[in-house]
Amino acid sequence: MRNYFFQCYFKSLRFAELPKCHNVIYVLAEKFDKRRVRVHWVLAFYIFNWFHFILETFFMQMFYANVYLLKKTVVMFIFI
């Protein structure tokens, strides 16, 4: 059942290559009887992880850039 699920929805991924948190989520989702509910749970988890990864990388880059500019301006004011 697991192999069938991941062949259908994540053709490029193998179940063994996924991190532990995905294993836990899949085991929790596997307790549901209906296949649709299981698919929605796992897909929602993957979309949330992807969205969180994008947001985190984007905002961390902005944050570090702002810190760099802030340090630069502070150093300029000290030397002036």
DSSP-derived 3-state class of residue 35: helix
Are the beta carbons of 14 and 2 closer than 8 angstroms? Answer: no
Q: In this predicted structure, what is the pLDDT of residue 15? A: 47
Query: Tens of pLDDT along 3-58?
Result: 555 555 554 444 444 444 455 555 555 555 455 555 666 677 777 777 777 777 66
32 Cβ neighbours under 8 A, 6+ residues apart: 38, 41
Q: In this predicted structure, what is the pLDDT of residue 51? A: 73
CA distance 41 to 49: 12
- Cα-atom radius of gyration of the chain, to the nearest Å? 21
pTM of the model: 0.27
